[in-house]
Homo-oligomer: A and B are copies of this chain.
Amino acid sequence: MAFQFLTNVDLEKAQKEYRDVLLQNGMRPGTEKIPAAESCGRITAGAVYAHICAPHYHASAMDGIAVWARDTFGATETTPAHLKKGQFTVVDTGDPIPEGCDAVIMVEDVVQEEDGVCLYASAAPWQHIRQIGEDICAGEMILQSYQRITPSAIGAMLAGGVLEVEVLKKPVVGIIPTGDEIVPPTADPEPGDIVEFNGSIFSAMLRENGALPVLYPIVRDDFEEIKAAVQKALNECDMIILNAGSSAGREDYSSEVIHCLGKVLYHGIAIKPGKPAILGYQGAKPVLGVPGYPVSGIIVIEQLLKPLLELWNHLPGTEEEAAEAVLSRAVVSGLKYEEFVRVRLGYVENRLFASPLGRGSGVISSFMKADGMLRIPRDTEGYEAGMKVTVRLLRPREELKNTLLAIGSHDPLLDELGDLLHKENPKLFMGSAHVGSMGGIMAARRKENHIAGIHLLNEADGTYNEAFLEKYFPNGGVRLVECVGRTQGIITASGNPLGIRSIQDLKRPGLRYVNRQKGSGTRILLDYLCKKEGIATDDIYGYEREEFTHTSVAAQIASGSADAGLGIYSAAKLYDLEFIPICMEQYDLLIPDYAWETLMVKQLLQTMKSKAFREKLIQMGGYEIGTPGCVRRRF
């Protein structure tokens, strides 16, 4: 089709031109009157002026009598003033001041007489009176145009007699999911189905940014159907998100539809993820073509729709909280695109570290785990490990400072420990990265983690962990803390249809193995076992197939795409798989001295000793529980 071309325009240029063309075409917010009492968080459409004064009458500020001050002038201890009935009125705090009075005398200073009162001091005009308008004067500007309404602003409006306030209408943003393979969220999708969860992510993002989302039904990959859906949404909404179908593939009608109903400013932005975005519009209404991968979609909405929402609500562009961080791993980037790299952040000894997370644009979990975002400009090939980079924070700095970094070998018990830790103390969090036991040791040497799970077998004597710490920390500076004994074994399909009994069976022709990544304790264990039994690892089909966690090894076997993998009992149990125990190993925590005194580690040790943790381990199964949280040895 004629319009299936991709540009590669600079993000900033695209943002500016998109904004300009929409403003030129008359994009601006509508306004609506709403009850002032329900206006919290909304944005005023114009200046708000008080209708009445607050207080709206002269009120006594004391219990006492109201008088005309002049009647008391000259009163002293020796020449008191005598006021007759009619010259004063008894008032309580809050009572209106009677006509003709202009001062209040406290009850303590009034001496009762038969036909009136006696005063021993003169009153100053307006003493002890809360005057009209003391708080707010009628006609005074209470709120400016385009001001966010706060709880106290509501109070000021109601006090000023403003019961209704004109605010900016929230922009209505229609979201249209498209695609033949897209199905509504379900707990039981068929192979080939793609669950439509983008709409829910985008809706939540829109709400957080002051818009009203409308999620339309899923539309098939059909030009006319998509066109009709977009036209309907254009009639009903202020802005449109057309999801998926924005790359230049064969069933991608988005740009064609937009071109047919309006105009396409750009199709293709020089960002990654997010490249195939379409910046379309019909008159003053943006129609944004958003790629189907969730991560791309989130970035396109943040970079291209959010600025329009801010423009609509007259908000200054969000000031993003940024911080300097040290990169713990190199990131490579192409010269062609600006890259948005999600990073995990962590403070170790007051230094902020950034570790790049998985960059697949389909990986929604990486967005959820991301603590920050690193932008790599177009003309940059990437950054070296150890470089200082500027990252945008996605979590409050305070939270990052209270996050325990568990970087090392994987065990699901770490997630449970993190959960218990936060339950114990709402201030504390755990973040983990699965880099294997050796990766954990190396991270500790670079001072980039607070704890590391390790289970490293010393082939010489069959002991665990200590020999490695001796070797890699010759000058000491770490503690080895007991965690659990755990059973490693062969995980295989339920019922063990292949009749697997031992490591020897793994080299059987036709058997498909799934391995763990290099440097992981489980892979080292496999290598050791193979060596001991004289098996060449080349003979194991799938030896090169790497997964990063016990759980994902079990998931592959459960799906039928592999027949066997080495792993722990709790992972097998999670998927109801068969488990052939091979050996018991010691899974411990390495804790460097620099982390020992932190609140996070102190709480962690306490949590490890808790009943709740022990119960959790029993429930998960396959663990041998001694005295978790106790120091085995200090190096």
Residues of A within 8 A of B (CB): 36-37, 40-41, 47, 51-59, 70, 94-96, 102, 124-126, 130-142, 144-147, 150-156, 158-159, 161-163, 181, 185-189, 191-195, 197-198, 200-205, 207-208, 294, 298, 314-316, 319, 360, 362-365, 367-368, 396, 398, 412, 415-416, 418-419, 422-423, 425-427, 512, 541-542, 544-545, 549, 551-552, 554-556, 558-559, 561, 574-575
**Residue from B55, B153, B556 in contact with A133 in the complex, judged by beta carbons closer than 8 Å:** B556
Given contacts A131-B561, A151-B204, contact A161 B144 (CB under 8 A): no
Could you say which residues of chain B place their CB within 8 Å of the CB of A51? 187
Min CB gap A597→B, angstroms: 20
- Indicate if the CB atoms of B200 and A158 lie closer than 8 Å: yes
**Residue from B159, B316, B574 in contact with A139 in the complex, judged by beta carbons closer than 8 Å:** B574
- Indicate if the CB atoms of B56 and A189 lie closer than 8 Å: yes
**Residue from B163, B363, B544 in contact with A125 in the complex, judged by beta carbons closer than 8 Å:** B544
User: 10 pairs across A/B with beta carbons < 8 Å?
Assistant: A125-B542, A126-B545, A130-B362, A133-B556, A138-B555, A140-B551, A152-B364, A158-B185, A158-B200, A162-B187
Could you say which residues of chain B place their CB within 8 Å of the CB of A419? 47, 141, 144-145
- Indicate if the CB atoms of A131 and B185 lie closer than 8 Å: no
Could you say which residues of chain B place their CB within 8 Å of the CB of A396? 319
Min CB gap A57→B, angstroms: 4
Give A422 to B368 CA distance when docked, in angstroms: 36
- Indicate if the CB atoms of A416 and B141 lie closer than 8 Å: yes
Could you say which residues of chain B place their CB within 8 Å of the CB of A158? 185, 195, 197, 200
Given contacts A154-B200, A542-B125, A556-B131, contact A52 B188 (CB under 8 A): yes
Could you say which residues of chain B place their CB within 8 Å of the CB of A412? 139-141
**Residue from B131, B155, B201, B319 in contact with A398 in the complex, judged by beta carbons closer than 8 Å:** B319
Could you say which residues of chain B place their CB within 8 Å of the CB of A144? 415, 418-419, 422
Most buried by B among A41, A161, A368, A512: A368
**Residue from B140, B155, B163, B558 in contact with A294 in the complex, judged by beta carbons closer than 8 Å:** B155
- Indicate if the CB atoms of B364 and A135 lie closer than 8 Å: yes
**Residue from B159, B198, B365 in contact with A364 in the complex, judged by beta carbons closer than 8 Å:** B159
- Indicate if the CB atoms of A208 and B151 lie closer than 8 Å: yes
Min CB gap A584→B, angstroms: 23
Min CB gap A393→B, angstroms: 14
Q: Sort A-B residue pairs by CB-CB distance and give the 6 closest, nearest first.
A: A158-B197, A40-B204, A57-B191, A151-B204, A139-B574, A96-B191
Of chain B, the residue at the smallest CB distance from A422 is: B144
- Indicate if the CB atoms of A367 and B575 lie closer than 8 Å: no
Could you say which residues of chain B place their CB within 8 Å of the CB of A52? 187-189
- Indicate if the CB atoms of B544 and A124 lie closer than 8 Å: yes
Give A125 to B543 CA distance when docked, in angstroms: 10
Of chain B, the residue at the smallest CB distance from A200 is: B37
Could you say which residues of chain B place their CB within 8 Å of the CB of A47? 415-416, 419
Min CB gap A412→B, angstroms: 7
Could you say which residues of chain B place their CB within 8 Å of the CB of A131? 556, 561
- Indicate if the CB atoms of A512 and B102 lie closer than 8 Å: yes
**Residue from B153, B194, B363 in contact with A94 in the complex, judged by beta carbons closer than 8 Å:** B194
- Indicate if the CB atoms of B201 and A151 lie closer than 8 Å: yes
Min CB gap A86→B, angstroms: 18
Give A201 to B55 CA distance when docked, in angstroms: 17
Give A36 to B185 CA distance when docked, in angstroms: 10
Give A51 to B555 CA distance when docked, in angstroms: 12
Q: Apart from A54-B365, A319-B398, list 17 A-B contacts with CB within 8 A.
A: A41-B208, A94-B181, A125-B541, A125-B542, A132-B561, A136-B364, A139-B574, A140-B412, A140-B551, A141-B412, A144-B415, A153-B368, A154-B197, A154-B201, A155-B364, A155-B367, A159-B294
Min CB gap A347→B, angstroms: 15
- Indicate if the CB atoms of A197 and B161 lie closer than 8 Å: no
Could you say which residues of chain B place their CB within 8 Å of the CB of A181? 94
Could you say which residues of chain B place their CB within 8 Å of the CB of A150? 204, 368
- Indicate if the CB atoms of A156 and B559 lie closer than 8 Å: no
Could you say which residues of chain B place their CB within 8 Å of the CB of A575? 138-139
- Indicate if the CB atoms of B561 and A145 lie closer than 8 Å: no
Min CB gap A108→B, angstroms: 15
Give A588 to B304 CA distance when docked, in angstroms: 44
- Indicate if the CB atoms of B94 and A192 lie closer than 8 Å: yes
Give A141 to B559 CA distance when docked, in angstroms: 19
Could you say which residues of chain B place their CB within 8 Å of the CB of A200? 36-37, 154-155, 158
Given contacts A102-B561, A192-B96, A362-B135, contact A155 B197 (CB under 8 A): yes
Given contacts A155-B198, A319-B398, contact A135 B365 (CB under 8 A): yes
Could you say which residues of chain B place their CB within 8 Å of the CB of A145? 419, 422-423
**Residue from B139, B152, B422 in contact with A146 in the complex, judged by beta carbons closer than 8 Å:** B422
- Indicate if the CB atoms of A146 and B197 lie closer than 8 Å: no
- Indicate if the CB atoms of B37 and A156 lie closer than 8 Å: no
Give A67 to B218 CA distance when docked, in angstroms: 33
Could you say which residues of chain B place their CB within 8 Å of the CB of A197? 37, 154-155, 158-159
Could you say which residues of chain B place their CB within 8 Å of the CB of A203? 37
- Indicate if the CB atoms of B186 and A365 lie closer than 8 Å: no
Could you say which residues of chain B place their CB within 8 Å of the CB of A70? 541
Give A252 to B555 CA distance when docked, in angstroms: 66
- Indicate if the CB atoms of A192 and B95 lie closer than 8 Å: yes
Give A134 to B133 CA distance when docked, in angstroms: 66
Min CB gap A456→B, angstroms: 24
- Indicate if the CB atoms of B195 and A159 lie closer than 8 Å: yes
Could you say which residues of chain B place their CB within 8 Å of the CB of A298? 151-152
- Indicate if the CB atoms of B187 and A58 lie closer than 8 Å: no
- Indicate if the CB atoms of A365 and B138 lie closer than 8 Å: no
Given contacts A53-B559, A186-B163, A197-B158, contact A133 B368 (CB under 8 A): no
